[in-house]
């Protein structure tokens, strides 16, 4: 026992602490309990760093950040932290079991960036983003954990620097080159690490070669990214381009915030979802050609090097979606069950087929929603935050549905419908835009086989015209 907590099995251990599964005997709930190692408890510097984790993480209340419930001290003086128990393992274990499809990887990293952005907004840096510090719930939600070497941005002036100017903390493979050279941690160095994680998930290999910290830093400073597998599609490469921008050797060329990186990732991710859906219906898709990169170059994708242009990407996305829809039509007509030649002598001919257009698919339904949400944002009919949330929630619904998580996909669609309804109530989404987006959401729910899941939850404020059925709020009969 430690306080009121009954210890169970060991969940893991690191350089600073051990983590146990434990039972809170007062509240009758299972938790994770992290205890500082005895050898370090007497070290005031390590102890202060450990307690800093509790203060940093307890200040955050975000669905993509592991929650802190309690802090305390053992009788021998060792401090401990009580956290929520996340039982889905970590991202490193998940990727080791089976490679993630690009759409799933993008969805998980959008959650990571959301949590990381909340930490940055609260004035906190993580400093050690890596797959082992990204935990997964049973329903696949990503949660950022282990702020053990986090440091408040506000502590950089006039307060104790727990890490010191000459001490570099972090994991070498995920350490930005300027950090390895002794520069202070920044938002951009956290995003560097997030870019490395994203690259590894999509490419299935590290972005930079090297077996030692020196080799990794030298490769990162050169900007020469390893050649990704030739099996990656153009849509995969578009997502990879987001990772590569985050890993630019020059911090000034990286994304200015986690939200900016998440926005570009969301813009690239729908094409990855299109590829996934197409792969499920097509018999074969030729692999992308082998591409080699020189120093500082990026893999080809819909976004040119340098600052990314959102509207250029949208135009390219719509053109690509149109080409994909045409390909789906060709495949559906060419590879479907062929009709027997008409040889009947009956004067009654079979009714002409109505499939002059391809049947809707999750990919096309999602592409329609992305198009309308982005067009609404551009015209001012939808505010930027609502447009991005609706796209992210719809993308996550497609990802969850493809992974067999129907209940979670239905919840994703309900959250998107609630975003539309609340935006309409606030006036941040116009009535016409809300109607169009709700129609797109309902169409997506239909092709996913989730029916009324696109209806806002009962707790959501009803929009004009009701809000109790699919196609609302604000949706008329015509």
Q: Which residues pair with 29 in a beta bridge?
A: 24
* Rg of the chain (C-alpha set): 25
Please, is 243 exposed, middle or buried when counting C-beta atoms within 10 Å of its C-beta (0-12, 13-18, 19+)? buried
Q: Map the chain to HEC letters.
A: CECCEEEEEEEEECCCEEEEEEEECCCCEEEEEEEECHHHHCCHHHHHHHHHHHHHHHCCCCCCECCEEEEEECCCCCEEEEEECCCCCEHHHHHHHCCCCHHHHHHHHHHHHHHHHHHHHCCEECCCCCHHHEEECCCCCEEECCCCCCEEHHHHCCCCCCCCCCCCCCCHHHCCHHHHCCCCCCHHHHHHHHHHHHHHHHHCCCCCCCCCHHHHHHHHHHCCCCCCCCCCCHHHHHHHHHHHHHCCCCHHHCCCCHHHHHHHHHHHHHHHHHHHHHHHHCCCCCCCCCCCCCCCCCCCCCCCCCCCCHHHHHHHHHHHHHHHHHHHHHHHHHHCCCCCCCCCCCCCCCCCCCCCCCCCCHHHHHHHHHHHHHHHHHHCCECHHHHHHHHHHHHHHHHHHHCCCHHHHHHHHHHHHHHHHHHHHHCCECHHHHHHHHHHHHHHHHHCCCHHHHCCCCCCCCCCCCCCCCCCCCCCCC
Q: Which residues pair with 135 in a beta bridge?
A: 90, 143
For the record, the structure tokens of 311 come out as: 């509207």
Instruction: Of 239, 286, 289, give the one whose Cα is nearest residue 265.
Output: 239
By annotation, the residues acting in catalysis are 128
For the record, the structure tokens of 452 come out as: 């009324």
Residues in the chain: 478
């Amino acid at each position: 026992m430690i306080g009121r907590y009954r210890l169970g099995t060991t969940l893991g251990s690191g350089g600073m602490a051990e983590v146990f599964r434990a039972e809170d005997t007062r509240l009758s709930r299972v938790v994770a309990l992290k205890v500082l190692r005895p050898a370090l408890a007497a070290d005031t510097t390590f102890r202060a760093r450990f307690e800093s984790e509790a203060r940093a993480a307890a200040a955050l209340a975000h669905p993509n950040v592991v929650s802190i419930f309690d802090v305390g001290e053992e009788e021998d003086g060792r401090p401990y932290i009580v956290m929520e128990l996340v039982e889905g393992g970590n991202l490193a274990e998940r990727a080791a079991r089976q490679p993630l499809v690009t759409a799933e990887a993008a969805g998980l990293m959008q959650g990571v960036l959301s949590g990381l952005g909340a930490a940055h907004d609260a004035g906190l840096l993580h400093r050690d983003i890596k797959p082992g510090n990204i935990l997964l719930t049973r329903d696949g939600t990503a949660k950022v954990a282990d702020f053990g070497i986090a440091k408040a941005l506000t502590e950089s002036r006039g307060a104790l620097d727990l890490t010191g100017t000459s001490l570099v903390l972090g994991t070498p493979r995920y350490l930005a080159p300027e950090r390895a050279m002794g520069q202070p941690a920044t938002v951009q160095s956290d995003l560097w690490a997030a870019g490395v994680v994203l690259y590894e998930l999509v490419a299935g290999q590290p972005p930079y070669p090297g077996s030692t910290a020196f080799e990794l830093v030298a490769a990162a400073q050169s900007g020469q990214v390893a050649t990704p597998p030739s099996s990656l599609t153009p849509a995969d490469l578009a997502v990879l381009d987001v990772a590569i921008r985050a890993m630019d050797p020059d911090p000034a060329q990286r994304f200015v915030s986690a939200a900016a990186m998440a926005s570009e990732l969301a813009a690239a991710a729908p094409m990855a979802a299109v590829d996934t859906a197409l792969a499920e219906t097509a018999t074969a898709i030729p692999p992308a050609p082998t591409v080699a990169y020189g120093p500082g170059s990026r893999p080809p994708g819909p976004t040119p090097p340098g600052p990314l242009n959102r509207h250029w990407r949208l135009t390219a996305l719509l053109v690509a979606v149109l080409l994909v829809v045409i390909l789906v039509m060709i495949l559906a007509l060419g590879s479907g069950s062929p009709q027997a030649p008409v040889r009947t002598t009956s004067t009654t001919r079979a009714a002409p087929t109505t499939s002059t257009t391809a049947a809707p698919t999750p990919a096309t339904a999602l592409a329609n929603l992305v198009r309308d949400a982005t067009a609404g944002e551009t015209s001012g009919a939808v505010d930027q935050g609502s447009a991005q949330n609706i796209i992210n929630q719809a993308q996550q619904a497609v990802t969850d549905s493809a992974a067999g998580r129907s209940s979670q996909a239905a919840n994703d669609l309900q959250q998107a419908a609630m975003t539309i309804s609340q935006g309409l109530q606030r006036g941040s989404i116009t009535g016409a835009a809300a109607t169009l987006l709700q129609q797109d959401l309902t169409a997506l729910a239909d092709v996913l086989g989730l029916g009324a899941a696109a209806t806002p939850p009962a707790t959501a404020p009803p929009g004009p015209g009701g809000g109790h059925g699919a196609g609302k709020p604000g949706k008329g009969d015509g």
